[in-house]
Structures are given as C-alpha cells and as structure tokens.
Chain A
Amino acid sequence: MRHTFTQRKLDAAAPHPWKRLRRMDRAFIVYGLVVAVLVVGCYLCSLVGWLPYQLDGMDLNHMNEAPSLGHPFGTDNMGRDILTRIIAGTQAFFLPGLLAIVIALVGGSLAGVLGGYYGGFTDKLTSYLLNVIDSIPKFVLLLLVIAIFKPDIYFIMIIVGATNIPTVASFIKGKILFLKGRDFIEAAAALGLSDLRIIFKHILYHHCLPLLIIQATLGMGEAILIEASLSYLGFGVQEPMASWGNLVAAGNNYVLQGVFYYAAFPALVIMLAILGFYLLGDGLNNLFEEEERG
C-alpha cells in the first residue's frame, strides 16, 4: 500500500492538478477569470475616461430608448447610455472593495497568527474579540452605521472588511494548528529561524497564500453585492455618480411602463459578476486542494 503510494508520487508523469480538476471547476475558473478581467478592464477604462459616451451626456432626444447598435443596453430616463454607466459603475465598488479585502486579509491574518501561532492568553483574547464581531449580523450593523454616520462607500467597506476578519482568521488559525500538528513549525523554530520569518515565509506565504487568494475573490464578490444592495436601497453611492445598484433602482421606476432593459441589464451584470467571483473562488479552492494532494 505504502509502496504504491510512493510510487505514484515519484511518477514524474503525474498529471498536472489543473488536468485532474473536474471539468465544471475548470469552466468556473475560466469564467471567473473572464469576469475578473472584464471588471478590472472596465474600471481602468472608466478611470482614464475611455467610455463609449460621456458619463453625464444627457440626450433629451433619446430618452428611455430600447437597445440599438448605438446604445447596446439602451438609454435611461435622461438619455444617458446605460452601457457607459455600467462601465463607470465599476468605480463605485472596485477601490472600496479592494479596501475591504485588504482589511479582511491583513486583519484576519494577524488575528489568526496571534491565535494559532502564539496561543495561550493572546488566543483567548483574539477569539473573544472575533466572536464579538462575528455575533453582530452584518447587514444590521451596516444599516446601523449608515443611520448614525451617513458614511460614504469607503467607510461602509471598512466595516464590511472588518466583519470578514473572523472568517479569514479562523481559516488561518486552523491552517497553523494543522501545520503545528505536523511538527513543522517546531522544526523551523529549532533550526533557528525567527518567528517573523516562520510566520511570513513558511506559514503565510507558502501555506496560506491560496487561502488568501480565495478569500480575496470572494471578498470582491461580496463587495459588489453589498455596494449594489445599499445603492439600490439608496444608502450607498448616490446619483449622479453611476453605480450598478442605483441603476437598477432608477430602472425599477420604468418597468411598469414596459422599459424592462433599464433595470434588467444592470441587474444581469450584477448577477453575472458576483457569480463570476464566487465561482472563481470555489474553483480555485478545488484547484488548490488538488495541488495539495500532490
């Protein structure tokens, strides 16, 4: 048994993890990457101003127009091109979303290391704090913060990032405890490596990077979801700035008049984008698991 096992491992022709992945997972990853590239591309384009139409280019002769070659997604109630506003809408969540991700990953890694690597009292303290954060429902907290502070989207995303810290921390802590169980960290310490080097290079870089990447993709999906939800409710990004959420909200008023595409296209984009990031995270998770198996 043991012999065949080693034999398989020594076999140089063992297929690459990517090839061993289920076909669905591969499709998910490809789709997710396409979505990610499109989102980043749209963000960069809108940043430098490469847009099909002017963002606030009102055209009162073409209000609520159906999709056409000139306006693939139609125009809104002020004659603005909806595709242009969707592209520019990436600005509403992209940078704030990155902020949320950075906060969640850095905070989570720190808390996970404090809990898993040092243990003892620091573990008790961090677990307690994380449980406190975890026990507050995310959306209730957000609405509460919005009601009190009337914050901008960056502030909101800081809160979102903070609420994600416990999830990341528990993953990192679990990984560290697993590594500790394999004498691995002790051996590194016995060799004479410093704590910082063990934490950053051996634990975080070599063993937690896949995990952090997955959390980052899921984080971006969530950032889109939350920004869209809040903007839809009127709490997030406000007109005249474009956001996917407030596009849907504005379009909603015209659905009963038969102008479905005003709300439908932005909503579809929201769905496809969130799906893309979540599926990417899921697919990568399976890919990294396959890699772990050797």
Chain B
Amino acid sequence: MVKPILKIKNLSKHFALGRGLGGLSLGGEKLLKAVDGVSFEIARGEVLGLVGESGCGKTTTGKMIVRLLGPTAGQALFEGQDVQRIPRRGLSEFRGAVQMIFQDLDAALNPKMKVRDILAEAVRLGERHTKQSLAKRLRELFSMVNLKPSKLENYPTSLSGGEKRRVSLARVLARKPRLIIADEPLSALDLSIQAQVANLLKDLQKEYGLSFLLISHDLRMVELLSHRIAVMYLGRIVETASAAEIVRRPGHPYTSALWTSTVARKKGAKVVGQLRGDVFELERPDEGCVFRSRCAVYQKKGKPKQCRVGADPELRQVRKGHSVACHFPLGKGK
C-alpha cells in the first residue's frame, strides 16, 4: 500500500454566526458548519475532484489543507505530517510543496507588478539564481504553460482571462509543488479557453506526476480531469468513487440530481429528481439526513423515519471503492 500524499481525517470548520454584543458570546450562538467531519485521501499522482454546489465548503476545505485556515477539529496530513503542526522553519518548504490556485483570476497577480517580477518572486523563494539563469527559468516556466515570452513584460491588467490563469499556474509551478489545490481553476474563463486550460492541467499532471485536489462545481470538467471524485453537500462528503463509476452509477440521490442538472449528461445515467432551492437558503436540520429536504428518494419512500432521526448517515461502502452516505443508496436492492 502506497502512502497517500494527503490524508484528511475528520476535518471540520465551524464559523460562529450572530455574535453577541461587542464580540462577547451571549450564549445561544449559531454555528455554521462549513465543513463537518470530512475525510479523504489523495494518492501520489492522483487527481481527486471535489464537487458540490457553491457554499458547500469546498473552498474552506482547500484553505485548511494549505493552512490558510485552522480547522475546528480534525487533521490534514501532508506526507504524514499534520499541516497545523509544521514548525516555523518547515513552513516555507511546506508552502512550496503544497500550492493553491485561487478561484479569483486576479488573486495571485499584484496589478502593480510586471508578470516577470511576479514569477521571479515565486522562483526566488525556493531557488538561487543569477540574472541569466533566472531569465532562463522564467522562459522555461512560460513554455510549460504555453505562453509567449513577450508576455513577461506585461502588467496583469493587460492580460486576458486565459493568460492570467496560465500566469497564476506558472507561479504555482515555480515552487515545484507536489500537491496542487486547484480551486475552480476553470471558472470565469470562456468555454474554448476552459478546454485549453483543462488540457494544459491534464498534460502537466501527467508529465510531472503531480497530485491534484480539483475543486469545482463543473461536473464535466471534473469528470474529464479526475481519477476519483468526492461529492460534497453542506460540509459533508456524501459520495466517493472513481470518476467513471460515479458518472455511470451514482449512489447518492444528490449526486444523481447534480448530474441531472448538467446539460450534457451521460446517456443511460439514472436520473432521480431535480434540485430546487439554493444552498444558502436551506435551514440545516439538526437531526437526520441533511439532504432530505431536497431529496427525491425521501419523498418517494414516504419520508421514512430513518432519514429524520439520528445522526447524518455515515459513508458506507456499496461497492469496491465506492462509498455513499445514504440510507437508501441508488442502484442497490432492485
């Protein structure tokens, strides 16, 4: 058994809502469980797709892995070490090994710096360079992401969306990461550019054996790029399986409903219900399955008691390498 590069154990992040006067908690504080007991692993060289609607805790999970946020409970282990416990001296090395691509195209690009300086800053963090070798390394990074070297002299504001994404990718690659957390790397790009960037990610992943956590709500892209997929709903993982399996035989009603909502869904995939409402408007039930308010199976089965009482269902294996957190997983029984 190969050791996973990243292991998430029971990771949770709760935010306090409705703080009392002057920041004092006056009791009866409401908790927003952005991430609630999430566990998964990423093997070396594997791409794990993390799918879910906006606001389900995907980004929060990513930020906890790169230690931008501290978890309320649980651990994220990178190469066996708890990322929260990395000592100050090892932090720089860790930051290099685990890189994050931000959803915001402009996030990584200081508008006041030339692309050359933005990249040079990242390169110099991990490597010593002379003027010539630095220039060579920058050209090398640019060719990795298929950008013309002339763009090095540009300011970020004069780049197109696709170019900005490539530059931020080059900046991430400059640190020679082993694990990349990619938060919606394709959103905010035109469709044709999406395909280019998706192919670029795929090529880079193969060529350098990078491990990816691919956070996205775009099922088609995730399916295309990932080896395995984890589906997240209101801070919990509700299903994990290989990409092919989860598309062919979704086990959780939510996964199935998500698939229904993509325009170009696979032929023959079983469709159960449609999603209504917005995650932000949903009252999270204190007891029972969190998904039941939108669940078609729950309605069809006549609101069974199992779904209403007790804790949220745990992930259970339904087939080899396929786990579902549902009392009535699809494609079972009948």
- Name A residues whose Cβ lies closer than 8 Å to a Cβ of B: 6, 9-10, 124, 182-184, 186-194, 202, 206-207, 294
Contacts and interface: CB of A to CB of B under 8 A. Distances in A.
A10 B172 CA distance: 25
B267 interface: no
B236 interface: no
B68 interface: yes
Interface stretch (B10-18, B104-112, B202-210, B309-317): B104-112
Contacts of A6: 160-161
B322 interface: no
Contact of A191 (B112, B158, B160, B175): B175
Nearest to B108: A187
Interface in B80-121: 91-92, 95-96, 99-100, 102-104, 106-108, 110, 112-113, 121
Contact of B104 (A124, A182, A190): A182
Nearest to A207: B112
Contact of B107 (A124, A182, A294): A182
B171 A191 contact: yes
B122 interface: yes
Nearest to A294: B157
Given A191-B171, A207-B112, A186 B102 contact: yes
25 contacts: A6-B160, A9-B158, A10-B160, A124-B23, A182-B106, A183-B102, A183-B104, A183-B107, A184-B107, A184-B110, A186-B68, A187-B102, A190-B68, A190-B99, A191-B99, A191-B122, A191-B125, A191-B171, A191-B175, A192-B95, A192-B96, A192-B175, A193-B125, A206-B112, A206-B113
A23 B223 CA distance: 57
Interface string B16-47: 00000001000000000000000000000000
A183 to B, nearest CB: 4
Contact of B92 (A10, A192, A206): A192
Contact of A9 (B99, B121, B157): B157
B66 interface: yes
A201 B230 CA distance: 39
B99 A187 contact: no
For the complex, would chain A's binding face be called helix, strand, loop or mixed by DSSP majority?
helix
A202 B68 contact: no
B158 A10 contact: yes
Contact of A187 (B107, B112, B157, B161): B107
Interface residues of B, number: 30
Interface string B154-176: 00011011000000000110010
Contacts of B68: 186, 189-190
Contacts of A206: 110, 112-113
A226 to B, nearest CB: 34
A1 to B, nearest CB: 14
B167 to A, nearest CB: 12
A292 to B, nearest CB: 9
Nearest to A186: B68
A189 B107 CA distance: 11
A189 B108 CA distance: 10
A206 B109 CA distance: 12
Contacts of B172: 191
B114 to A, nearest CB: 11
A184 B113 CA distance: 13
Contacts of B125: 191-193
A126 to B, nearest CB: 15
B72 to A, nearest CB: 16
A183 B62 CA distance: 14
A293 to B, nearest CB: 10
Given A188-B108, A190-B95, 20 more contacts: A9-B158, A10-B158, A10-B160, A183-B104, A184-B106, A186-B68, A186-B107, A187-B108, A190-B99, A191-B95, A191-B99, A191-B125, A191-B172, A192-B91, A192-B95, A192-B96, A192-B175, A194-B92, A206-B110, A206-B112
A292 B255 CA distance: 44
Lowest 6 CB-CB distances: which A-B pairs, in order?
Answer: A192-B95, A183-B107, A206-B112, A187-B107, A187-B108, A183-B104
A202 B171 contact: no
Contacts of B91: 192
B107 A193 contact: no
A213 B300 CA distance: 67
A91 to B, nearest CB: 37
A192 to B, nearest CB: 3
Nearest to A183: B107
B137 to A, nearest CB: 16
A190 B158 contact: no
A7 to B, nearest CB: 10
B133 to A, nearest CB: 20
Nearest to B95: A192
A202 B99 contact: no
Contacts of B92: 192, 194
A192 B127 CA distance: 13
Nearest to B91: A192
A68 B302 CA distance: 105
Contacts of B157: 9, 294
